A and B are shown apart, each in its own frame.
Chain A
Amino acid sequence: MTNFVLQAKGLSRHYPGDGVPVRAVDTVDMAVETGEAVSVMGPSGCGKSTLLHLLGGLERPTSGEVWLGGQRVDRLSETGWARLRRRSVGFVFQAFHLVDELSAVENVELPALLIGASRKAARGRALGLLERLGVAGRAGHLPDRLSGGERQRVALARALVNEPLLVLADEPTGNLDSGATAQILRLFAGVHEAGQTLLLVTHDPRVAATADRLLTMRDGSIVEDVRLEGGLSRQALLAQVAGWEP
Chain B
Amino acid sequence: MSMIVRLAWRNVRRRPAQAALLLLMLCLSTTLVSLGLAINETGREPWNRLHNSVNGFHVQAYAAYHTREQLELPRLPQPDPANAASADDQLAELAAQPGVVAVGGPWPILFAEGRVGGVALPIWVRVLDSQPAAVGRPLVISGRWLDDGDGVVVLEDGLASLLNVAPGDEVTLAGQRLRVRGSAMTTSIRRYPGEFPATIWTNRATAAHLRASGAVPLGAALELRLARPEDAAAFVAARAPTYPDTGSLMAWERARSRANGMEPYTLVLGIIATLLAGLTVATAAVLVTGRMAAQSRQIGALKAIGVTPRQALAVVLVEYLAVATVAGAIGIISGTLLSPLIGRESPILYGAPAAPPITWPRAVTAFAVAMAVVVVGSVHPALRGVRQSTVRALASGARPPRRASRAARFAAIAGIPLPVVLGLRSAMRRPGRTLANAIGLALGVAMVIVGLGASKATRDFLASQAMDEEEAVVRAANAMLIDQAVAILFIGAGLLVALAAVNAMIVAIFAARDAARNHAILRAVGATPRQTVISFVVAQLGAGLLGCAVGIPLGVLLYNSTVTGSAKDLPTMALPALTYVVVGLAVPLLYLMAIIVPAARLARRPAAGALTYE
Task: Answer yes or no: B565 CB below 8 A from chain A CBs.
Answer: no
Q: Which one of A58, A79, A101, A158 lies within 8 Å of B425 (CB-CB)?
A: A101
Closest to A159 in B: B525
In angstroms, Cα B409 to Cα A142, docked, is: 13
Task: Answer yes or no: B132 CB below 8 A from chain A CBs.
Answer: no
Task: Answer yes or no: A33 CB below 8 A from chain B CBs.
Answer: no
A79 touches B530 (CB 8 A): yes
- Size of interface on A: residues with Cβ below 8 Å to B: 36
A143 touches B526 (CB 8 A): no
Chain A residues in 8 Å Cβ range of B432? none
Q: Which one of B402, B422, B525, B529 lies within 8 Å of A111 (CB-CB)?
A: B525
Task: Answer yes or no: A86 CB below 8 A from chain B CBs.
Answer: yes
CB distance from B178 to the nearest CB of A (A): 84
- Interface-lining segment among A92-100, A176-184, A195-203: A92-100
Chain A residues in 8 Å Cβ range of B401? 100-101, 142, 144
B404 touches A103 (CB 8 A): yes
Closest to B532 in A: A82
Chain A residues in 8 Å Cβ range of B517? 97
CB distance from A80 to the nearest CB of B (A): 9
In angstroms, Cα B401 to Cα A53, docked, is: 28
- Size of interface on B: residues with Cβ below 8 Å to A: 37
Chain A residues in 8 Å Cβ range of B398? 100
In angstroms, Cα B526 to Cα A53, docked, is: 14
Kindly name the residue among B398, B402, B429, B608 whose own CB sees the greatest number of chain A CB atoms within 10 A: B608
A110 touches B525 (CB 8 A): yes
A79 touches B518 (CB 8 A): no
Contacts of B524-573 to chain A: CB distance below 8 A: 524-531
Task: Answer yes or no: A115 CB below 8 A from chain B CBs.
Answer: yes
Chain B residues in 8 Å Cβ range of A58? 520, 523-524, 606-608, 611
Chain A residues in 8 Å Cβ range of B528? 78-79, 82-83
Task: Answer yes or no: B408 CB below 8 A from chain A CBs.
Answer: yes
Chain A residues in 8 Å Cβ range of B530? 79
On whether A95 and B518 interact (CB within 8 A), knowing A85-B526, A101-B425, A101-B429, the answer reads no
CB distance from A27 to the nearest CB of B (A): 20
Task: Answer yes or no: B522 CB below 8 A from chain A CBs.
Answer: yes
Task: Answer yes or no: B418 CB below 8 A from chain A CBs.
Answer: yes
In angstroms, Cα B519 to Cα A238, docked, is: 38
Chain B residues in 8 Å Cβ range of A111? 525-526
Chain B residues in 8 Å Cβ range of A185? none
CB distance from B605 to the nearest CB of A (A): 10
On whether A99 and B518 interact (CB within 8 A), knowing A86-B525, A93-B611, the answer reads yes
Mark contacts of A50-61 with chain B using CB atoms, 8 A cut-off: 1 yes-contact digit, 0 otherwise: 100100101110
CB distance from A69 to the nearest CB of B (A): 15
B606 touches A142 (CB 8 A): no
Task: Answer yes or no: B403 CB below 8 A from chain A CBs.
Answer: yes
B403 touches A91 (CB 8 A): no
Q: Which one of A103, A106, A114 lies within 8 Å of B527 (CB-CB)?
A: A114
Chain A residues in 8 Å Cβ range of B525? 85-86, 91, 110-111, 114, 158
Task: Answer yes or no: B614 CB below 8 A from chain A CBs.
Answer: yes
Task: Answer yes or no: B521 CB below 8 A from chain A CBs.
Answer: yes
Closest to A111 in B: B525
Chain B residues in 8 Å Cβ range of A158? 525
CB distance from B442 to the nearest CB of A (A): 26
Task: Answer yes or no: A223 CB below 8 A from chain B CBs.
Answer: no
Task: Answer yes or no: A113 CB below 8 A from chain B CBs.
Answer: yes
Task: Answer yes or no: A22 CB below 8 A from chain B CBs.
Answer: no
In angstroms, Cα B518 to Cα A27, docked, is: 31
In angstroms, Cα B526 to Cα A125, docked, is: 17
A101 touches B404 (CB 8 A): yes
Chain A residues in 8 Å Cβ range of B408? 101
CB distance from B316 to the nearest CB of A (A): 26
In angstroms, Cα B523 to Cα A56, docked, is: 11
Task: Answer yes or no: B612 CB below 8 A from chain A CBs.
Answer: yes
CB distance from B359 to the nearest CB of A (A): 53
CB distance from A85 to the nearest CB of B (A): 5
In angstroms, Cα B527 to Cα A99, docked, is: 13
Task: Answer yes or no: B400 CB below 8 A from chain A CBs.
Answer: yes
Chain B residues in 8 Å Cβ range of A95? 611, 614
Q: Which one of A49, A106, A114, A162 lies within 8 Å of B612 (CB-CB)?
A: A49
Task: Answer yes or no: A121 CB below 8 A from chain B CBs.
Answer: no
Kindly name the residue among B412, B518, B521, B527 whose own CB sees the greatest number of chain A CB atoms within 10 A: B521
Task: Answer yes or no: B405 CB below 8 A from chain A CBs.
Answer: yes
A97 touches B524 (CB 8 A): yes
Contacts of B442-490 to chain A: CB distance below 8 A: none
Task: Answer yes or no: B260 CB below 8 A from chain A CBs.
Answer: no
Q: Which one of A49, A83, A85 lies within 8 Å of B524 (CB-CB)?
A: A85
Mark contacts of B384-401 with chain A using CB atoms, 8 A cut-off: 1 yes-contact digit, 0 otherwise: 000000000000001011
In angstroms, Cα B524 to Cα A78, docked, is: 11
Name 12 extra pairs, CB < 8 A, besides A53-B612, A101-B401, A142-B401: A53-B611, A56-B524, A58-B611, A59-B608, A95-B614, A100-B401, A101-B404, A114-B418, A114-B525, A115-B526, A142-B402, A143-B400
Interface residues of A (CB under 8 A from B): 49-50, 53, 56, 58-60, 78-79, 82-83, 85-87, 91, 93, 95, 97-103, 106, 110-111, 113-115, 119, 142-144, 158, 162
* 15 intermolecular pairs with C-beta atoms under 8 Å apart: A53-B611, A53-B612, A56-B524, A82-B528, A85-B525, A86-B526, A95-B611, A97-B524, A98-B521, A100-B398, A101-B422, A110-B522, A142-B401, A144-B402, A158-B525
5 nearest CB pairs, A to B: A86-B526, A101-B425, A58-B608, A144-B400, A53-B608
